Amino acid sequence: MYNFETISIKELENLEYKANFPSNRFEWIYSWYEVFEKVENNVIGFQKQAYIVTAYENNQLVAIIPLVKLIRKFCKCIKLEFVEFLGQQWSCIGHDLIVLKELDSSFTKQLLSWIKKNIRYHFIFFKYVPKKSILTKNFKMYRYSGAPMICISDYRDYNEFAKKVYAKKFRKKLERTLRKIEKDGFRLSLSYEEINSSNFETIKRISKSKMLDGKSFVYDDVNKEKFHKSLYHKFPSHVMFAKFNDYPVAYVANIDCDNARIAIDCAFDRDYRIYGVGVQCMDCNIRKSFSLNKEKYSFGVGMDVYKFQFTKTAMPFYMCFGLQNRLKSFLAKPFVLYRAKKSDQKSKQEFEGVEEYV
């Protein structure tokens, strides 16, 4: 039998544990809730309440489950209560139960029973769950997304990696754009810096040019900007700038966690699109990760096509849901199931030809 208790987010800081994802780390969880607790919309949720659940076996801490209860509105007026992983709502890099000791097959069932008794909800809804999660024992899993990545430790050095992974056409593209940069009178230089208030303004300037392509500008949202700045402060963080004649035209912003490098944001100045400065900067950022002897390099969640110029591998993520025996739950179930199946189909298509990393 397992015993379950709840603690505050602040108390989580005092527990020693190894998180399987950065978004399970105390620093990430605390930053996320500090920024988004009072933000209310249908993506982040309304009326959020954190539940940091701790599980014990014979008085020994064996698992931590960071949850949040929130409300979402359907058809503008129907309110549904959800229990989810805290932080999966936006900017997540994987979520799961934090397991400190091997758990038996009954653990998930006991956890769900405790949640039903102690938290009122319509749906349990977990996203960004890894393939090997213990949740797979009690939930039907639907493919949801993926995180393209490079297992750096599999290669002797960057040159071996580039030769094995980069397509010949892509290697020629890198060479061709370098020649064009020089031909047009630009001097390409690189700058690798710790992220600070000064270069963060440069990051924002370059990122804003995404709007020219109709893409969202993350720093246009004051809360999302605040969250990113908090991550850069609490995790080891660096930015790789590509510069033309000392003027920054592209960047990749990274955080480090457990000897893995995560590129959580990148952009290039659209005025210099024809020079391929974005791919040049990303390639140099990968090269730098090899020189620092990182074990892994992650492009973050999202199966964007451009990422697969640099890798053939991605970590798959899944979603799952359960419901309480309540009228609104049964009425909303067809819609939730439809969204899950649609996501599953889309993700399967995105993974065609991609090697899964689990």
How many other CB atoms are there within 10 angstroms of residue 131's CB atom? 14
What is the structure's pLDDT at 152? 98
Closest by CA to 67, choosing from 86, 82, 94, is: 86
Closest by CA to 213, choosing from 268, 156, 176, is: 268
Equal fold, 3-146+315-356 vs 152-294:
yes
**Distance between CA 239 and CA 218 in Å, rounded?**
17
User: What is the per-residue pLDDT across 25-79, written as a single tens digit (0 to 9) for each?
Assistant: 999 999 999 999 999 999 999 999 999 999 999 999 999 999 999 999 998 889 9
**Distance between CA 205 and CA 245 in Å, rounded?**
17
3-state secondary structure of 28: helix
Closest by CA to 263, choosing from 254, 275, 271, 272, is: 254
pTM over 0.85: yes
**Distance between CA 311 and CA 287 in Å, rounded?**
13
What is the structure's pLDDT at 341? 98
Q: Which fold has domain 152-294?
A: Aminopeptidase (3.40.630)
Place of tokens 């969640």: 301
Is-contact 64 17, C-beta < 8 A?
yes
CATH numeric code, 3-146+315-356: 3.40.630
What is the structure's pLDDT at 77? 85
| Amino acid making up residue 21 | F
**Distance between CA 253 and CA 241 in Å, rounded?**
9
**Distance between CA 18 and CA 222 in Å, rounded?**
31
Q: Which residues pair with 53 in a beta bridge?
A: 6, 65
| Amino acid making up residue 229 | K
Tally the C-alpha atoms within 13 A of residue 125's C-alpha that lie toward its C-beta.
24
Domain extents in the chain = 3-146+315-356, 152-294
What is the structure's pLDDT at 299? 98
Q: What is the mean pLDDT of each run of 10 residues along the chain (358 residues)?
A: 98 95 97 98 98 98 99 92 98 96 96 98 98 96 98 98 98 97 98 98 98 93 98 98 99 97 98 98 99 98 98 98 97 96 98 96
